[in-house]
Structure 1
Amino acid sequence: MNVYEYLLNYNIKPSVQRIAIMDYLLKHETHPCIDEIYMALCKEIPTLSKTTVYNTLKLFVEHGAAKMLTIDERNACFDGNTSLHAHFLCRSCGKIFDMPLKEELTDTDKLGEEGYVVEEVHYYYKGICPECAKQKSKKN
């Protein structure tokens, strides 16, 4: 499915800016913030503003086409992968990694039986990634 169809699938009217922003999110699984997306696309789309990027990402989140991550207290980051998964923030390099979830963690049936309607689930882990841990052990 191309990005145009992807947006239509989420009931989002495609535009040049929306297609470019969603394409960036889907191709760059780095969980970028607004500034990163803006800086990457402003050369290709000179009329693009940070406000447009912000409003577009807000629209994507409202329609379920992207997720906003608040794992990093300094920046909101965005993820084009809307499947259920966890995130790991490396406190050393600052990168955010996708992590698989164990099935028992994702069981919201019990909450449904109790009358809760689950709309979002966030699993955040923080620590040191394997690459940074290796570098740290080499220094010691």
Structure 2
Amino acid sequence: MEMEVYQQLLANGIRPSAQRLAIMNYLLTHRTHPTVDEVYQGLCNEIKTLSRTTVYNTLRMFAEKKLAQMITINEHHVCYDGCTNPHKHFYCNRCGHVFDIFDETSEKHSVSQNIDGHHIIETQIYYRGVCKYCLSKELLECGN
């Protein structure tokens, strides 16, 4: 996978460095929609010269180059997704996890289109609510 990531960075005009490769690999292998701090914490023991600023700048660059999605939940919670295939997200208000939702309407929303005279090049849709895991815990607690 390392060589694929290397080629992917090159193809998108990004000079592959050890830090950039590690950050991209982290995104692709940790499907948890990590924050900048989570990526940093996951890699800082492995790469001693890594800084939070480098992680922040690299993730922003990946998002600008469409190698990752930046998901802004609110002004205090921004996370990243290495999966760039069309999909939606679900944010659980209770546990704070972000889940991928792949459905047939995701593909329609990913297509470049014109709406009311505006040229749309990117669409991000996410839902908020209580995830099925928190709901099942709630049901278990009520049953006892």
Whether these two folds match at TM > 0.5 is yes
Q: For the structure 1 residues 110 and 81, does the alpha-carbon distance in structure 2 shift closer, same or farther, using more than 3 Å as the test?
A: closer
* Residues in 2 aligned to 1:9 and 1:85: alpha-carbon distance in whole angstroms: 23
CA offset at residue 116 of structure 1? 2.4
User: 70, 80, 83: which is aligned to 1:81?
Assistant: 83
* Secondary structure class of the residue paired with 1:71: strand
Tell me what 2:15 maps to. 13
CA distance in 2, matches of 1:36, 1:62: 20
When the two structures are superposed, what TM-score results if normalisation uses the length of structure 2? 0.87
2:91 match: secondary structure: strand
2:71 aligned partner: 69
Residues 107/40 of structure 1: CA separation in 2 closer, same or farther (3 Å cut): closer
Contact 2:113 2:121 in 1 (8 A): no
Q: Which consecutive residues of structure 2, in runs of 5 or more, have no partner in the other structure?
A: none
Of the two structures, which has the highest relative contact order with CA contacts closer than 8 Å and spacing of 6 or more? 1
Q: Residue in 1 aligned with 2:99? A: 97
Q: Does 1:119 align with 2:121?
A: yes
Q: How does 1:26-41 map to 2 (within 5 A)?
A: 26-41=28-43
Contact kept in structure 2, 1:108 and 1:118, CA below 8 Å: no
Task: Pick from 47, 50, 56 the counterpart of residue 48 of structure 1.
Answer: 50
What 5-or-longer segments of structure 1 have no aligned partner? none
Q: Structure 1 residues 25-34 or 106-115, which shifts more?
A: 106-115
Structure 2 CA distance for partners of 1:137 and 1:27, relative to 1, 3 Å:
same
Q: Is the 8 A contact 1:60 1:66 kept in 2?
A: yes
Are the equivalent residues in 1 in contact too, given 2:86–2:107 (CA < 8 A)?
Answer: no
Tell me the alpha carbon deviations over residues 105-124 of structure 1, each in whole angstroms, 9 at most, x when there is no partner: 82577952754221210111
Kindly provide the CA deviation profile for residues 82-111 of structure 1, in whole angstroms up to 9, marking residues without a partner as x. 111100011111110000243388257795
Q: Which amino acid aligns with 2:139?
A: S
C-alpha contact 2:22 2:43 (8 A) present in aligned 1: yes
RMSD of Structure 2 on Structure 1 (CA): 2.2
Number of the residue aligned with 2:132: 130
Please state which structure has a larger fraction of its residues in strand.
2
